[in-house]
Amino acid sequence: MQDEPFPTGSRAGRISSIVDSHIVDVRIRRVDFTSTTLPCVNAHFLYPVFKDRRPTMEELAKMLVKEITKFCATRADRRKAKRLDNEAGDLETGAVEELAAKARSLFMAPDADDRSGEAGELLLYALIEHYLRAPLIVSKMRLKTSTNMPVHGADGLHAGWCEKTDALILYFGESKMHQQFASAMQDAAESVAALVTNKGGRLERELDLVSNFHDLGNFPEQGIEYLLRFLNPFETEEGNRRIDRFAILVGFDYHAYAKVADVPLAEVEETFLNYYKRAMNQKIGTARSHLKHNGIELENVDLFIFPVPSVDLFRAKFQEAMNG
């Protein structure tokens, strides 16, 4: 097969070019972290933007609601809706609004017995695209057959390209938001382990989803065919070279927000960061321990650590934004 439709020198750029735009930097701050003992760590220490003394949870929730259509609808469907509205001119069709409403309907009703972490899934999607430049290529939400049935498996499947090895990178997203960091990390590690070991054929099912429901925008057909060769674990050399990475979002209640209640206003964020930075090595150690216990190499993980005043508050603010 000729490589011209997907030339070697532009593969990484071609894949990252279909990443959507996200206003992550407006709502979330990232803290630089370098470990002298664990140089292989790829960790993103994040926190919601402060406004005065308050972390802006409500504003973050509203931002996430605006991500829903991109998370749930295919790129082709979004382009079609925009085209229909543009062609209608003053005779507005409302195609974009209709698509947005359909996307929102895929999220479970607030009184559903089995709550999944929709807010966390949306946040992880935006973080992977924004920081890793890896576009979402399968949205589990779009595959839901019932609005009260969570979709099992990875929370999202993203793609990247390793220029060093000239191979596809497949990112498996996993979002966990618990009151305790250790509990969330343990849950995430156990979930990822099921993929690593192909427990119950889980990895094979994920690869089948990409093969059958991939969303690669305007990729040339021959380029798509070449990428799909990396998903065949039995019959292609490319399948041997595929790189599997695990993008894990860990959200948890963090005590440091309460500790800035009485400090001078000008020192609020600096004080918070002092607490946060002192905890970073301990968080990485906990993450490494749970991952190692489950047979996962830390260097194969992109870790997004996101402390919030309250996970329950985060979910409540997201539901309020959904209802608004």
For 84-109, the pLDDT digits (tens) are 888 877 666 789 999 898 888 877 65
Mean pLDDT for 238-257 is 95
CB-CB contact of 287 with 92 (8 Å) = no
Tell me what pLDDT residue 9 has.
64
- DSSP secondary structure string, 124-183? HHHHHHHHH---EEE-TGGG-SSTTSPPPS-SEEEEEEETTTTEEEEEEEEEEEESSHHH
Tell me what pLDDT residue 236 has.
87
Q: Residue 32 — very low, low, confident or very high, per pLDDT cuts 50/70/90?
A: confident
Tokens for 321? 């934004």
Q: Residue 267 — very low, low, confident or very high, per pLDDT cuts 50/70/90?
A: very high
Tell me what pLDDT residue 86 has.
86
141-189 pLDDT per residue, tens? 777 655 454 456 788 899 999 999 999 999 999 999 999 999 999 999 9
Mean pLDDT for 105-125 is 70
**Residue 116 pLDDT greater than 60, yes or no:** no
Mean pLDDT for 13-30 is 93
pTM for this model (two decimals):
0.91
Mean pLDDT for 284-290 is 94
